[in-house]
Structure 1
Amino acid sequence: MIVESPGAHFDAAAIYDGKLYANNQHDDNVSVFDLAAETELDPIVDDAFSFPHGVDVSPNGILAVTNYGTSTVVLRDLP
């Protein structure tokens, strides 16, 4: 599967529950892709994202995003 997202800047990705989560520094969000349907879903937007650089998901569904712009880590529960 290759999914194009024009204008996006991805550095890292994590897979959880059939979805791929990829940091998008260009848009300060986390892009979400449905692996089975091979489609891009609505991104995860958070005002705390600032040049998101790394992304991972814990086994219990907590998204961790490191931010290059603010030297912070944002934690969010996934739906």
Structure 2
Amino acid sequence: MISVLTGPQGTEEQRGTLCELAGLYGLLPALATRIDWLTVTVLYCVAGWQTCAEALADVALAECHGIPVKDLPLT
């Protein structure tokens, strides 16, 4: 079972930040090549995800599979 991180992915910088945060928190970035959504236990979202079409699609997929969606608190 895996935990996935999504967020803004529209620019190279945003994708880099998403990958960096995923690494820091031990999560799989949603922009990974393949995600088996049946094995995902939770989808975490970083600030600004609501403005990104890819992140909105990640959240929709998670909700369709009954996967909890949570905001990732950055402290």
Q: TM-score scaled by structure 1?
A: 0.26
Q: Larger % of helix: which? A: 2
- Higher relative contact order at CA 8 Å, sep ≥6: structure 1 or structure 2? 2
- TM-score of the superposed pair, with normalisation by structure 2: 0.27
More strand by share: 1
Whose radius of gyration is greater, 1 or 2? Answer: 1
